[in-house]
Homo-oligomer: A and B are copies of this chain.
Amino acid sequence: MKKRRSSDSPPGMVVNEKPATLDDIARRLKLSAVTISKALRDHPDISSATKRIVLQTAEEMGYTPNIMARNLSARRTHTIGVVLPKIAHFFFSSIIDHIYNIAHDRKYEVILTVSQESAEREKKHVQTLLAMKVDGIIASLSQETRDYRVFETVGRRGVPLVFLDRVPDLPNISTVVVDDRGGAFKAVERAIALGHRRIGHFGGFVSTNIGRERKAGFLEAMNRYQVPLNESWILEGGFDEEYGYQAFMDLYRRKDLPEFVFAVTHPVAMGIYKAVKEVGMRIPDDVDLICFGNAQVQDFLSPPLSAVDQPTEVMSRSAMELLMEQIARRETYKPRSILVGTDIIVRGTCVQRRQPE
- Identify the A interface with B (CB < 8 A): 6, 10-17, 19, 62, 64-69, 71-72, 77, 87-88, 90, 93-94, 96-97, 100, 104, 109, 111-112, 114, 116, 121, 127-128, 130-133, 148, 152-153, 155-158, 160-161, 170-174, 270, 273-274, 277, 295-297, 299-302, 326, 330-331, 333, 335
Q: Give Cα A72 to B330, complex, Å.
A: 27
State whether A133 touches B6 (Cβ < 8 A). Answer: no
State whether A155 touches B14 (Cβ < 8 A). Answer: yes
CB closest residue in chain B, given A128:
B109
Contacting residues, chain B, for A71 (C-beta < 8 A) = 68
Known contacts A62-B153, A65-B131: A171-B301 contact under CB 8 Å:
no
Contact of A66 among B16, B131, B274 (CB under 8 A): B131
Contacting residues, chain B, for A274 (C-beta < 8 A) = 299-300
Q: A15-B155, A62-B153 are in contact. List 4 more A-B contacts (CB 8 A).
A: A12-B171, A68-B133, A87-B97, A277-B299
Q: Give Cα A69 to B66, complex, Å.
A: 12
Q: Give Cα A330 to B131, complex, Å.
A: 28
Q: Give Cα A10 to B173, complex, Å.
A: 9
State whether B132 touches A14 (Cβ < 8 A). Answer: no
CB closest residue in chain B, given A68:
B72
Contacting residues, chain B, for A13 (C-beta < 8 A) = 155, 172, 335
**A261 smallest CB distance to B (angstroms):** 16
Contacting residues, chain B, for A300 (C-beta < 8 A) = 270, 273-274, 277, 297, 300-301
Contact of A11 among B131, B170, B277 (CB under 8 A): B170
CB closest residue in chain B, given A96:
B87
Q: Give Cα A335 to B14, complex, Å.
A: 9
Q: Give Cα A259 to B298, complex, Å.
A: 25
State whether B14 touches A330 (Cβ < 8 A). Answer: yes
Contacting residues, chain B, for A301 (C-beta < 8 A) = 297, 300-302
Contact of A17 among B11, B100, B158, B335 (CB under 8 A): B158
Q: Give Cα A156 to B19, complex, Å.
A: 9
